[in-house]
A = this chain, B = another copy of it.
C-alpha cells in the first residue's frame, strides 16, 4: 500500500506558491476544504487563480482568500452572496471567468482522465461560446472546452484511509471527486482518517491513486448557507 498520509495541513500544502492555479472542491459552503483554505490564508500566497464552483461568502470559504486579496482570478459558475467579491470584481481588481457548472465539472474530469478537451452543448449561442470552436454533431451544436491545468487540487472528504481512498457524505461530494487527480498535486482533507483495510473496496468513491496527500482536518465548521426547515 502506498501511504499518502501527511502529518497535517502544513505538510499537505508544501509547494504552494504565488501565482499558482488551484482547484477547490465544494458547492456553496458544503464540502469545501476548510482546513486547506485557512492555511492558504495563513501562508499568504497571492496572485492565485482559483477554480471553484462558488466563491464562498464574505467570511467563510474562498471569501477568506478574497478578503486578503490573494485571488487574482476566479473560474466559477456562480458567485453570488459575496459582497467583497462583488466589490473586487466591479473595481476590476478581480478577474472573473464564469462558465457553466457542467462544463466546470467536466473540464476537471477531463484533466483527471487524460482528455484534452470535450464537446458540450452548454453555452452554445451565448457569450460563453464566443471565441471558442463550435461544431455540429447529429444536427446539434457543441462547444469545444479544454481540460483545466492546475497545480493543486484541494478536496474535502468525509472518510479516507492512508492509501488515499476517499468516501464522501451526501451532497458534500459535488466537485470533489472530479477534481481528484485533475491537478499536479491533489490534497485531500478528511473528517476521519482510517488505517487501510477499514474501508470496503467496493465502496470507495475515489481510489487513492488520484490523491497525493491526505490529512485529518483539525477543524470542520461545516457552515450552513441557507438553513431551511419545516415545522413538526
Chain B nearest CB, measured from A224 CB (Å): 19
How far in angstroms is the closest Cβ of chain B from A37?
24
- Interface SS, A side: mixed
Q: How far is the CA of A137 from the CA of B118 in the complex (A)?
A: 12
| Copies of the chain in the assembly | 2
Give the residue of B119, B202, B203 whose beta carbon is less than 8 angstroms from that of A115: B119
A202 touches B168 (CB 8 A): yes
Closest B-chain residue to A202, C-beta based? B169
Contact partner of A116 among B119, B169, B203, CB < 8 A? Answer: B119
Within 8 Å CB of A121, what residues of B?
114
Once bound together, how far apart are the Cα atoms of A201 and B205, in whole Å?
Answer: 13
Number of interface residues of A (CB under 8 A): 20
CA distance A140 to B117 in the complex (A): 12
Q: Please give, as numbers and ranges, the residues of chain B lying within 8 Å of A167 by CB-CB distance.
A: 202
Query: CB < 8 Å: which of B116, B118, B138 contacts A140?
Result: B116
Contacting A202 at CB < 8 Å: which of B114, B120, B170? B170
What residues on B are CB-neighbors of A146 within 8 Å?
137
Residue of B nearest to A173 (CB): B202
1/0 contact string of A158-177 vs chain B (CB within 8 Å): 00000000011110000000
Q: Nearest CB to that of A113 among chain B residues?
A: B106
User: Which residues on B sit within 8 Å (CB–CB) of A169?
Assistant: 202
Is A117 touching B119 in the complex (CB atoms < 8 A)?
A: yes
Interface: A142 (CB within 8 A): yes
In chain A, positions 78-114 with a C-beta closer than 8 Å to chain B are 114
Residue of B nearest to A167 (CB): B202
For A170, what are the chain B residues with a Cβ–Cβ distance below 8 Å? 201-202
Other CB < 8 Å A-B pairs besides A117-B137, A118-B118, A169-B202, 13 of them?
A: A115-B118, A115-B119, A116-B119, A116-B138, A116-B140, A116-B142, A117-B119, A137-B146, A167-B202, A168-B202, A170-B201, A170-B202, A203-B203
